[in-house]
Amino acid sequence: MPDKISILIVDDEESVRDSLCNWFIEDGYAVECAENAKKALQMIEEKEYDIILADIKMPGMDGMEMHRRIRTLNRESIVIIMTAFASVDTAVQALKDGAFDYITKPFDPDDLSHLIRNAAAQISLKSENEALKRRVTTLENVDDLIGKSEAIQKVLEQIENVAHSNSSVIITGESGTGKELVARAIHANSPRRYFPMISVHCGALTESLLESELFGHEKGAFTGATFNRKGRFEMADGGTIFLDEIATISPKMQIELLRVLETKSFVRVGGNKEITSDFRVICATNRDLTAMVKSGIFREDLYYRLNVVNITIPPLRERADDIPLLVSHFIKKYCTSMSRDLITIEPAALRQLEKFEFPGNVRELENMIERAIVIGNGKEIRVKDLPMGREVPDSTVESLEELEKRHIEQILSKYNWNVSRSARALNVDRVTLYNKIRKYDLKQKE
């Protein structure tokens, strides 16, 4: 038997409750009893039971009414109606109302065993079906990887080559180039595609949080760990784990990660049971890992373990030819999601975009297009709808980096250094903002 199946027995006769309870306990089920429908409904509201065996005739609320109320509670429990020979007609009505089956008292032991086995089989089929559905919905396509340039075509070719293997992959590229999209494309085209791809943004987590996130923890492992929790490595069993911002992990985590990659087994935080998981690792970073290895910040052995295949995504400025394609892709994407008619972009605006350097790469372009659609005239994107179409600071006075630093400082100060709100206002994700804060060494003023 997989997980213990829970059964609730509802009958006003104590001897019936005791007999059934004893019978099911010997079969290894988790059994609880209620002497009337009212109490049973209270119990069902508090806890979900897999199977409910209810007598059809009980003082107060009968089994039929209780069954209807269970349905209104939106519970997925399998309801089996117990009936005396005389009330078979009513039991048939219960079946029409959605009960799983009915059984006539007293039961033949074999009938009862069969009935419960069938119900248990249905429960396991249902949970298997749900698990498969969840896996299917996590399938990712590669529609967002747009471009005809030689550089992006090379990336697509590498994805195709590497997808069918089990090798570890490091994806490098500047922030906003689409590293996670490439990881998803590899996963979606790999034999592991029917299993989940689990993403972990290492840069956004402290060392202890990352440890618990990756390896999971046992109940009581630390304050607040009130339940056992599966780690990301465990959840990625059969699939892929994507470790974003891999360069940010601490030396201690580097050692632990190396051990897991070598043995494919680990122990949950606070636990002692060895757990094995079959996963593929894809990492991403916007830093130069080779330089980090040379300077001793990143372990060389871990680097070689991860860097079996390296895919470098070029920055958008190096593939400006792809900008028109990307622009029309994002126009289509956002017009559809905003339920608007498809709009165009005026040639001058497109030229502006093609000339722009895009320090934030494709993500910045995407944000620009989304914003332009929101504030535009609903027919076409004009130069004035783009940020560079508005007042541009004198570049001889201030570099783009200085401008970015000053702008981020202003926004952080405006939102009292609340990173989430500031990131939202800047239209970037939190990880990017944290990286910028680190890059520009920004500190909150006392």
Interaction site with other proteins (CB under 8 A)? 1, 13, 15-16, 18-20, 22-23, 25-28, 105-110, 112-113
Nearer to other proteins, 121 or 209 (CB): 121
Nearer to other proteins, 107 or 417 (CB): 107
Nearer to other proteins, 111 or 288 (CB): 111
Least Å distance between CB 256 and other proteins?
33
Nearer to other proteins, 82 or 257 (CB): 82
Least Å distance between CB 180 and other proteins?
44
Of the candidates 245, 261, 260, the residue with the CA atom closest to the CA atom of residue 180: 245
Rounded Cα gap, residues 412 and 418, in angstroms: 7
Rounded Cα gap, residues 344 and 350, in angstroms: 10
- Asked whether 250 and 207 are in contact (CB, 8 A), the reply is yes
Least Å distance between CB 193 and other proteins?
33
Nearer to other proteins, 25 or 375 (CB): 25
Q: What is the dihedral of CA 137, 143, 145, 150, to 10 degrees?
A: 140
Of the candidates 142, 154, 147, the residue with the CA atom closest to the CA atom of residue 327: 147
Token couple for 200: 């972990």
Nearer to other proteins, 9 or 202 (CB): 9
Q: Give strand pairing partners of 229.
A: 217
Please confirm whether the linkage preceding 196 is cis (ω < 30° from 0).
no
Least Å distance between CB 93 and other proteins?
22
User: What residues contact residue 5 under an 8 Å CB cut-off, 6+ apart?
Assistant: 29, 30, 50, 51, 120, 123
Least Å distance between CB 1 and other proteins?
7
Nearer to other proteins, 24 or 279 (CB): 24
* DSSP-assigned states of every residue in 214-280: HHEE-TTSSTT--S-EE-HHHHTTTSEEEEETGGGS-HHHHHHHHHHHHHSEEE-BT---EEE---E
- Asked whether 329 and 345 are in contact (CB, 8 A), the reply is no
Nearer to other proteins, 6 or 158 (CB): 6
Least Å distance between CB 106 and other proteins?
5
Least Å distance between CB 81 and other proteins?
14
CA distances from 254 to 14, 231, 297, 303 (A): 60, 17, 10, 9
Least Å distance between CB 30 and other proteins?
11
